[in-house]
Structure 1
């Protein structure tokens, strides 16, 4: 199997981001976005997806958390798209339900090349540790759009920390499943012959 890795940078007037990704890693992470809770979520994402992941972001946090969270989602999505290449042999589809104490998140993913995002939930609190709760939803949309995923996500609970953490862990587990190589499949998993 070829290396499924990527190194992506994004520099705008609002953020300066570097992401490295190894889909077939061991879950080693180094993350520094300037938002402690977001760092914790990205660390959980890498750990539970067994992705080796580094993320550094120098963003305009004096404004708010929006540009940092959105642009990291964009850049990480680009990294997944680059690392997956022509998607030959991947499992493609996956779904996971992941609990976090009283919360539980449901994730359904298709590495289809057709970006689509659906989310029909509300968070219990408006923010967690310097991150606006809504931005977790926006992160998922940004990642799905740039990685070319069809992504359906929902969450229920009583604590926004647990709700968001369940979403990140669920996404990690589902992407780990969907990106796995199926030895029986030589081509892209599509009747079209490509994704």
Structure 2
């Protein structure tokens, strides 16, 4: 029997930002709800990529944030649409924070009951001279330890402190335990991008579902029996 597609559509509206997210953890051909929400805008940014198995389009008003979310979606196997309009005339804080909170909320909503999951995932990713790693636990216990060792204040128009805070916000909203680190790297762009790719690989492993006949199929992967 085919597994039900895991999709979610989320809107996060505050006095400072308006965020819309559509997310699918599975093949978009099996995810009609999310597929309807993933439509390339007329002014599609570089962070738009449609293939037979993935549909990604990200537009936040912050180019480097778009680039990181594009990489996260691409290498995790997710289909993802993000539309964000925030108070960038102030700075990048509210837009970045609320975008990661909305993506995290969509992620946990799409995940649904945490059954039949691999649960844990680790990813390692190089980018030229930089090497990063990430470990995720779909634990329902939000926690994040992020250590990327940035040396610059900003990459493009994105503050490096907001990369760290954004990942912390994602972990909080997604109800996951998350550890991400950059082992080494001379270039902060490479440090950040390798970290997001490592996280993507970790997510792809953790959300894998056990199918009928496999050990863990239908189970909550916890000695407590709950997540």
Give the TM-score, by structure 1 length. Answer: 0.97
* Structure of greater Rg: 2
- 1:1-195 correspondence to structure 2 within 5 Å: 1-25=3-27, 26-155=53-182, 156-183=184-211, 184=214, 185=216, 186-195=218-227
User: How much has 1:53 moved relative to structure 2?
Assistant: 0.1
Gaps of 5+ in 1: none
User: How much has 1:134 moved relative to structure 2?
Assistant: 1.4
User: How much has 1:121 moved relative to structure 2?
Assistant: 3.7
CA RMSD in angstroms, aligned pairs only: 1.0
Larger RCO: 1 or 2 (CA < 8 Å, sep 6+) = 1
Gaps of 5+ in 2: 28-52
Give the TM-score, by structure 2 length. Answer: 0.83
Q: Is the 8 A contact 2:124 2:201 kept in 1?
A: no
Question: SS where residue 191 of structure 1 aligns?
Answer: coil
Q: Is the 8 A contact 1:16 1:59 kept in 2?
A: yes
User: How much has 1:87 moved relative to structure 2?
Assistant: 1.2
Q: 2-side partners of 1:169 and 1:28: how far apart?
A: 17
User: How much has 1:140 moved relative to structure 2?
Assistant: 0.7
Count the aligned residue pairs. Answer: 195
Question: SS where residue 131 of structure 2 aligns?
Answer: strand
1:79-132, CA deviations, whole angstroms, 9 ceiling, x for partnerless residues? 111011111101000111111111111101100000111123420321111001
Question: SS where residue 188 of structure 1 aligns?
Answer: coil
